[in-house]
Chain A
Amino acid sequence: MPTTRAGTSSRGRSRDVVTAVEIAGIGLHPFGRFEGKTVTEIGVAAVRDALADAGIERRAFQAAFCGTAYSGVAAGHRVLDALGVTGGPIIDVEAGCASGGAAVMMAAGAIAAGQFDTVLVFGMEKMPKGIIRSSFFAPWQEEAGLAATPAYFALRAQRLMRESGVTRDHLADVVVKNRANGVHNPDAMFRKAVTADEVLASRLVCEPLHLWMLCSPNEGAAALVLRAGDGENGRVRVAAAALRSHLPGNVLSEATPMSGLLDDDVPAATTLAARAAFEEAGVGPSDLDVVECQDTDAARELLSYEELGLCAAGDAAKLLEEGATRMGGRLPVNPSGGLLSKGEPLGASALGQLVELTRQLQGEAGPRQVAGARVGLAHTVGRGANASVVILTR
């Protein structure tokens, strides 16, 4: 079990001697569908860009972590082999939609503990087409119809509508917001704005979720070079990188159990991760300038507002209606366009969010720029449950 005392590493050192972690370089392969490109080629592109952006000698990192859920064994090795930069430890990390976030936690943690100086962390995926099939479910569960992922999203959406005053119009508005942001993201798969009417007219998949309220699993990769450093010279710091799993009891948690208790106060994995990240970074929700959060479906973004503590429980619809989370609001969420615009290559999601946030904090986000952004939060959550929250500062 990891230590629970803030700032204390497994060797019992105090917070004062935990090494700070900064981002030395970023790289990204656009998200979309790329016939004829292997996941290795997609990963190689992002890693090459990150190493070049960091300006380091190509073998000047001591370890590599690769977040992926569907790329098979030795996925990270194939990428680094192609680049001729193997020799150090190469670890593949699977944590569902939070695979990339989990990889970042391990990479940052290793540097903070003084184990390595420079670490490559990347995420990549080439999702199979159609409804995602997951080895999480036993064959009999698939046969029984228990493996319909959009159905679980729909049940959570319905509960949110019941408990937080969310309506189908709010769900449509999240899509409109994120798709409008995606117009300005050349690396996103969907770059055309949509109207609420169009969203509500799209095919009903699982009531209340229409097709355009659901993101598209697709292909892509992103990479960071992390190194020991406290952010001098304008570098972005990784102020926190937390990963948490679920607590038992919530029937609709991402643990996807077959039953749960009547305890409605079980904190979600996302909440556990957010609390840990805020404590590690020494900031709170009101210090955030920009957020990239999980929007696998429109309701999931609104649920994240509450679970991350961006608003009080029950106030997600209110926060959206206030305009707080749109561009120009006091806390823009998903300026990149979110997964709803980018699509979701699982292992690459969190790394893609961090590339966006790094650009935001460095003032390099162009038409997507959130003015004066200095503190950003990246959130992904996947079946397991695995919830990742990373906080960047500059």
Chain B
Amino acid sequence: MPDATAIHEGLFTTEADGAPRLIGGRCQSCGRHQFPRSSLCPHCGADDVAEALLSSQGTLWAWTAVTAAPPGYRGEVPYGFGVVELPEGLRVLARLTQGDPTKLRFGQEVRLQLVPLHADDEGRDVLTWAFA
């Protein structure tokens, strides 16, 4: 069974128990979080951003569904797309597993998952982050 591969390095990881976690950053100077993690804090300018595995549970803050494949996209349509609010005080853009916007509610609890977008040339699933 071919391994899965991530859509891009450094965005998410899987813990020992298989639970997915988004890899964010936390500025050691001002305390604010960011996703993805970068070496600088865009809020205070400090360069001591530490890796922070973000909470996997959040609440839905905004959502829609994409009905036509955008340029370069390799996956199915429609797909859910929205913003999830995390307890760290961060709002993150994310794919949503629910592609029917009428079935979602503001503030509902959503959980991080890793989902396959498509298979690469070697038959491995290419995974991205999503909330369900």
Residues of A near any B CB (own CB < 8 A): 130-131, 133, 137-151, 154-155, 158-159, 162, 204-208, 248-249, 251-252, 257-262
CB distance from B117 to the nearest CB of A (A): 7
Which listed residue, A144, A146, A207, touches B101 by the CB 8 Å rule?
A: A207
CB distance from B11 to the nearest CB of A (A): 9
Tell me if B91 and A142 are in contact (CB < 8 A): no
Closest 7 CB pairs of A and B: A142-B72, A133-B71, A148-B70, A154-B64, A259-B35, A140-B8, A207-B101
Contact bitstring B28-59, A, C-beta under 8 A = 1, else 0: 00001111100000110000000000000000
CB distance from A163 to the nearest CB of B (A): 11
Which of A144, A155, A262 lies at the interface centre, i.e. has the most chain B CB atoms within 10 A of its CB? A144
Residue of B nearest to A259 (CB): B35
Contact bitstring B44-88, A, C-beta under 8 A = 1, else 0: 000000000000000000111111101111110001011101000
Residues of B near any A CB (own CB < 8 A): 7-8, 24, 32-36, 42-43, 62-68, 70-75, 79, 81-83, 85, 89-93, 95, 101-102, 106, 117, 126, 128
User: Which residues of B sit under 8 angstroms from A138, Cβ to Cβ?
Assistant: 8
User: Which residues of A sit under 8 angstroms from B83, Cβ to Cβ?
Assistant: 155, 251-252
User: Which residues of B sit under 8 angstroms from A251, Cβ to Cβ?
Assistant: 83, 91-93
Tell me if B95 and A252 are in contact (CB < 8 A): no
CB distance from B27 to the nearest CB of A (A): 11
Tell me if B64 and A158 are in contact (CB < 8 A): yes
Tell me if A258 and B67 are in contact (CB < 8 A): no
Tell me if B66 and A143 are in contact (CB < 8 A): no
Tell me if B62 and A131 are in contact (CB < 8 A): no
**With A206-B65, A261-B32, A262-B85 as given contacts, are A147 and B70 in contact (CB-CB < 8 Å)?**
yes
CB distance from B125 to the nearest CB of A (A): 13
Besides A142-B70, A143-B7, 8 other CB < 8 A contacts?
A140-B8, A142-B73, A144-B117, A145-B81, A148-B70, A155-B63, A155-B83, A262-B91
Tell me if B91 and A147 are in contact (CB < 8 A): no
User: Which residues of A sit under 8 angstroms from B126, Cβ to Cβ?
Assistant: 143
Report the Cα distance A259→B126, complex, angstroms: 22
Report the Cα distance A146→B82, complex, angstroms: 10
CB distance from B37 to the nearest CB of A (A): 10
**With A145-B79, A155-B64, A248-B42 as given contacts, are A261 and B91 in contact (CB-CB < 8 Å)?**
yes
Tell me if A146 and B93 are in contact (CB < 8 A): yes
Tell me if B62 and A252 are in contact (CB < 8 A): yes
CB distance from B114 to the nearest CB of A (A): 12
Residue of B nearest to A162 (CB): B106
Residue of A nearest to B128 (CB): A144
User: Which residues of A sit under 8 angstroms from B72, Cβ to Cβ?
Assistant: 133, 137, 139, 142-143, 147
Residue of A nearest to B95 (CB): A145
Tell me if B66 and A145 are in contact (CB < 8 A): yes
CB distance from B9 to the nearest CB of A (A): 9
What would 14 A/B residue contacts be, using CB atoms closer than 8 Å? A131-B68, A131-B71, A133-B71, A137-B72, A142-B72, A142-B73, A144-B73, A144-B95, A150-B66, A162-B106, A206-B64, A252-B62, A259-B93, A262-B90
Tell me if B71 and A142 are in contact (CB < 8 A): yes
User: Which residues of B sit under 8 angstroms from A145, Cβ to Cβ?
Assistant: 66, 70, 73, 75, 79, 81, 95, 117, 128
Tell me if A207 and B91 are in contact (CB < 8 A): no
CB distance from A117 to the nearest CB of B (A): 41
User: Which residues of B sit under 8 angstroms from A208, Cβ to Cβ?
Assistant: 64
**With A131-B71, A139-B72 as given contacts, are A159 and B89 in contact (CB-CB < 8 Å)?**
no
Which of A137, A139, A154, A204 lies at the interface centre, i.e. has the most chain B CB atoms within 10 A of its CB? A154
CB distance from A300 to the nearest CB of B (A): 15
Which listed residue, A143, A204, A258, touches B73 by the CB 8 Å rule?
A: A143
User: Which residues of A sit under 8 angstroms from B81, Cβ to Cβ?
Assistant: 145, 148, 151, 155, 206
CB distance from A389 to the nearest CB of B (A): 24
User: Which residues of B sit under 8 angstroms from A249, Cβ to Cβ?
Assistant: 43
Report the Cα distance A149→B126, complex, angstroms: 23
